Structure 1
Amino acid sequence: MAVSAENKRRLVTAALVGPAAVWLFTFLVLPFTAVVIFAFGERAPEGGYQPAFTLAQFANLGARSAAFTNTLTLAPIGALACLLIAYPVAYYLAIKADQKYRMFLISLIVIPFWTSMLVRTYAWMYLLGARGIPHLFELAGIDDVRLLNTPGAVLLGIVYGYLPLMILPIYVSLEKLDRRLLDASADLGATPLSTFFGVTLPLSLPGVMTGVALVTILLLGEYLIPQLLGGGKVFFIGNALVDLFLQSRNWPFGSAIAVTLVVVVVAVLLVAMRIAWRVSGSRQVDLI
């Protein structure tokens, strides 16, 4: 029996989408469903999960308020710091840099990703530790300089680790910019500053929002940088989750925090998409 063209299209679509759908359902939907179920349970006497239906875990979120405060403070600040550094770099690469050197300069931004984040963070531990930068201050006669295990060290690690993820989306947005618009603005008598704020910045905002959303969402679940550069004194939500699941074995409370984190991430993404859509008007905006 012949298969109609419409059925063929459906079969092809199912063949293409099916494996990804099964993968996402198995490794995303099912685990998150289990986490949601755990969040409404109770901690067993010996640790782990005990079936129940209670909101006590969510009511107890204030017990980890420091982790939420640090995360919701340092993550946006870190994303903003990345943006302030990344935009001039991306602007230079897309607008000012010579075409024959552009790919080389972009490679210099990407190369740090070839090294493990753990190794790079350990390098910063040495630089910020007693035998690193503070030792140079001591040689200059400035004693008791403490850089490691502080919010500043965590913020520095955040900017260092996530800066390329901010540069690349902005660069792509600026690289697609129609240069004739810049020339037209100049021909109409606009100053370079007016052209930047009136043409360049608005047209690059979708890339800016993509970078901000990407970096902020990843930072909300960050564990390694606060653990190593914060020395256990600057807790993020990721650190709290590791403690609750692996050490305290309070799976329901950890699940409640994880569910709350997912809600925050979704809220950040929706806000970023709405802002980017309003800024871009009818143009398509992809944040992820």
Structure 2
Amino acid sequence: MARTRRRARFTGYWLMLPSALWLALFFLVPFYSLIAMSLYDPEGSSLTGYDMTWHFANYVDVVQAYWRPLLRSFWYAALATLGCLLLGYVLAYAIAFKAGRWKNLMLVLVIAPFFTSFLIRTLSWKLILADDGWIVNTLQAVGILGPDGRLLATSFAVVMGLTYNFLPFMVLPLFASLDKIDHRLIEAAGDLYASPARGFFKVTLPLSMPGVVAGTLLTFIPAAGDYINSELLGSPNQRMIGNVIQNLFTNQGDYAAAGALSMTLMIIITIGVVLYIRRAGTEDLV
């Protein structure tokens, strides 16, 4: 009997072992390698090799050298997250409360873009916003853009690409949160003479806050580190921090600076996420 209990007690740990090994192999080991890389001697190179000198000044150097694309990345990610929140909330609300028997179909349409390559979806926006495309021609015809005006290779194009590509990450958590709301609570707000707008801000929006917080995190974090949209839809003036890191790793071979910049981005995002969650007070995220 005691032996059976002992086996049952350790069964959970044995079941966790494969995922723990996977996590250690593909997260902890690369994470340790990245930390070590960020502390390499900056005088080294990919040809001569790097020495581990615990050079913490790498972090100061990369912030001083690349603070502009770092701030630009957070600004673009914030704008894209706001755009996803406004568009995604309306879409998630419609699916949760108005779609009826079409709910499942609309959810499939939300996730359908994931069946297409991220790169192809971004290239499609390059065609849509092209200088000779119908959008630019229409805006020029109505006078919104000048004769030489353009949308491609601008901040607008980069933010639109980010908004489009990460919109499903906002819609799905919002839908999951809205779909759990008891409709009787909304009806009770109307019975208590609350207008539809007041009922929304007093009942629906507060109850959907876990979805809002989860959606903004799932959108902002990958958008801040993205480099595909700024590479294809922007110009050197719209370079984001992901482009800088990719260039340092693959073109310049400056692994110390690339590692330090990657760790800096990770640290800033982690601190921001912790403060955001504490400020939002969303213990019900799970």
Query: TM-score, normalised to structure 1's length?
Result: 0.91
Count of residues paired in the alignment? 280
1:22 aligns to what?
Answer: 21
Structure 1 residue 4, shift from structure 2 partner: 4.2
User: Which residue of the partner structure matches residue 103 of structure 1?
Assistant: 104
Equivalent of residue 253 in structure 2, options 249, 252, 267:
249
Q: Distance in 1 between matches of 2:20 and 2:269?
A: 22
Change (3 A) 1:197 1:139: closer
Query: Aligned partners of 1:96, 1:275: CA distance in 2, in Å?
Result: 32
Contact 2:80 2:162 in 1 (8 A): yes
Whether 2:13 is the aligned partner of 1:9: answer no
Structural mapping, 1:62-81, within 5 Å: 62-81=64-83
Opposite residue 241 of structure 1, the aligned amino acid is: I
Q: Quote how far apart the aligned CAs of 1:104 are.
A: 1.4
Aligned-partner SS, 1:49: coil
Deviation per residue, 1:197-250 (Å, 9 max, x gap)? 111000000000000011011112111111111133311111111111111111
In structure 1, how many angstroms separate the alpha carbons of the residues matched to 2:142 and 2:78?
34
**1:137–1:143 Cα contact (<8 Å) kept:** no
Distance in 2 (CA, whole Å) between partners of 1:86 and 1:138 is 29
Deviations 1:79-107 (A, max 9, x none): 0111011111111111122x211111222
Q: Structure 2 CA distance, aligned partners of 1:251 and 1:203?
A: 46
Corresponding residue number in structure 2 for 1:165: 169
Q: What stretches of structure 2 of length at least 5 have no aligned partner?
A: none
Tell me if 1:266 matches 2:270.
yes
How far apart, CA to CA, are the structure 1 residues paired with 2:183 and 2:255?
A: 55
RMSD: 1.9
Q: What do the CA deviations read for 1:170-194 (whole angstroms, capped 9, x no partner)?
A: 0110000011111111111111111
In structure 2, what is the Cα distance between the partners aligned to 1:185 and 1:130?
50
Q: Among the aligned pairs, what percent are the same residue?
A: 33
Paired residues for 1:233-244 under 5 Å:
233-244=237-248
Provide structure 1 residue ranges, at least 5 long, that are not aligned to the other structure: none
Match of 2:90 in 1: 88
**Is it true that 1:187 corresponds to 2:188 in the alignment?**
no
Q: Which digits, 9 at most, give the CA deviation of each residue in 1:246-276, with x for residues without a partner? A: 1111111111111111112212321333234
- C-alpha offsets along residues 11-47 of structure 1, whole Å, 9 cap, x if unaligned? 2111221111111111111111111111111235443
Q: Distance in 1 between matches of 2:50 and 2:183?
A: 59
More divergent stretch after superposition (103-112 vs 147-156): 103-112
Corresponding letter in the other structure for 1:205: M
Give the conservation status (yes or no) of the 8 Å contact 1:67–1:235.
Answer: yes
Q: 1:4 to 1:117 in 2, by over 3 A?
A: same
1:57 aligns with 58
The residue aligned with 1:34 is 33
Deviates more, 1:195-204 or 1:141-150: 141-150
Whether 2:219 is the aligned partner of 1:224: answer no
Q: Please give the TM-score of this superposition, normalised by the length of structure 2.
A: 0.92
**Where does residue 284 of structure 1 map in the other structure?**
284
Farther-moved stretch of structure 1 (213-222 vs 133-142): 133-142
In 1, the alpha carbon distance for the partners of 2:122 and 2:214 equals: 25
Q: How does 1:110-189 map to 2 (within 5 A)?
A: 110-132=111-133, 133-137=135-139, 142-189=146-193
The Cα offsets for residues 42-72 of structure 1, whole Å up to 9 and x where unpaired, read as 2354435332122221111210112101111
Give 1:137 deviation, angstroms: 4.6
2: CA distance, partners of 1:226 / 1:50: 33
Give the Cα–Cα distance (whole angstroms) in 1 for the partners of residues 82 and 271 of structure 2.
18
Maintained 8 Å contact 2:76/2:224: no
Distance between the aligned counterparts of 1:241 and 1:88, measured in 2? 35
How far residue 126 of structure 1 moved from its aligned partner, in angstroms, is 1.4
CA distance in 1, matches of 2:19, 2:224: 26
